[in-house]
Amino acid sequence: MLALPPISLYIHYPWCVKKCPYCDFNSHEGDPQADYIAALIRDLDCDLKYLQNRQIHSIFIGGGTPSLMSVNDAKELFKGLRQKLSIPKNIEITLEANPGTFDANKFAQFREVGINRLSIGVQSFNNKNLKFLGRIHSSEEAIQAIREAQKVGFDNINIDLMYGLKDQTTELCMEDLSCAIALQPSHISFYQLTLEANTLFAKYPPKLPAEDNIWEMGEKGAALLQNSGFEQYEISAYGKTPSQHNINYWEFGDYIGIGAGAHGKITDIKGKKVFRTLKPKSPRDYLVQFQLNDSESSVKVVDNITFEFMLNSLRLKDGFNVELFETRTGQPFQVLSSKLDKAIDLDLIEIQKKWIKPTTKGFNFLNELQEIFL
């Protein structure tokens, strides 16, 4: 039976200093628009009906480069959020940050407005790799940014790291990871560079290491992280403190999405359906739309809900239980029977006491496992 899950809030801040050649996110070079914060609050007003009397579970401000936001804008944003939402004390509130935009005084004030977790897009501690990736910071600036963030009181920090980069060897990859670990963050996102459509790298593909070498980087990197106390809980996430916002995504929880190009996922108990919301992608179009107080999100009902659930939940290393599937999808667990049997026969999934989880093989070949449920 369909039940209301926890609901999070995602806020998209679309501006950045420079568009990276691998980036397929909705990011735009240029100066932030002065009236964007007011538009975010009007956007939220339109989506308040989706809360259905729930408190906010977590907040994530992504981009773009949200660390470009001024302190005054951050204060205005959080004043508006607290006026309209029930935000429990000490919930996880994350801001994505670029080391090239770091200022200790500014980040201390970000912490004062309520942000208590940073996700810092380092990508590499090797300056040659950073130049290849088009990043605006150096290795030294990244290290300084993390240390300064810790000094002003951030004790929940994620470091983003990529592997499988041009000319990267396994040894160089391990040096990157060792540098990240030595900085003692609470979380590390360690993921392979992929050439996404509509990016500069897709148009002009760089020569990357051989697949076997990339596989070795992933395997040895995972072992190093595990041995250093970072528990892998999701395909590319390793945490001493797992991200509550990310877990809500992977467990097929709900979330409101506000901002240019933001999308949300909402459970409608009365209508017995799950639907997604989508906001205009262009910041200009977004600002025009939310000058109107009665503006509405674009809404699309999730048709293949069992596949979408499996697409998310199979990313979790520990998997999920039968009850979670049934309450998040509204479907009886038996609808999965034939596909589960196929996955079990291929040694991609195991079931123990109504708990379903990928095997080691299934976790390593996640795309193949997910496709079974398409």
Residue 91: predicted pLDDT: 97
Q: What distance in Å separates the CA atoms of residue 132 and residue 179, rounded to the nearest whole number?
A: 19
Is residue 30 over pLDDT 90?
Answer: no
- pLDDT tens by residue, 60-96: 999 999 999 999 999 999 999 999 999 999 999 999 9
> Does residue 345 sit within a domain?
yes
**Rounded percentage of the chain residues whose pLDDT exceeds 90:** 92
Domain count for the chain, please give it. Answer: 2
For strands 7-13 and 56-63, give the pairing. Answer: parallel
How large is the average pLDDT for residues 213-240?
97
Q: How far is CA 285 from CA 45, 68, 290, 343, in A?
A: 18, 21, 9, 44
Say how far apart CA 93 and CA 115 lie, in whole Å: 5
**Across residues 297-318, what is the average pLDDT?**
92
The answer to the question of residue 185 being in a domain is yes
Instruction: Tell me: do 241 and 365 sit in the same domain.
Output: no
Q: How far apart are CA 84 and CA 160, in angstroms?
A: 32
In a domain, 264, yes or no: no
Q: In this predicted structure, what is the pLDDT of residue 297? A: 73
The whole-number pLDDT of residue 286 equals 93
Q: Residue 6: is its pLDDT beyond 90?
A: yes
**Interatomic CA distance for residues 211 and 131, integer angstroms:** 22
Residue 300 domain-assigned (yes or no): no
Q: pTM for this structure?
A: 0.96
| pLDDT range class, residue 270, cuts 50, 70, 90 | confident
Is residue 215 located within the same domain as residue 337? no
| Domain encompassing residue 103 | 7-249
For residue 32, name the pLDDT band (cuts at 50, 70, 90). confident
CA-closest candidate to residue 182, choices 139, 235, 215, 152: 139
Q: Do 204 and 97 share a structural domain?
A: yes
229 burial level (CB within 10 Å; 0-12, 13-18, 19+): exposed
* Structure confidence by residue, pLDDT tens digits, 273-297: 999 999 999 999 999 998 765 567 7
Q: For residues 11 and 362, give the distance between their C-alpha atoms in angstroms, rounded to a whole number.
A: 33
Specify the DSSP element, H or E, that contains 189: strand 187-192
208, two tokens: 């990357």
pLDDT of residue 291: 78
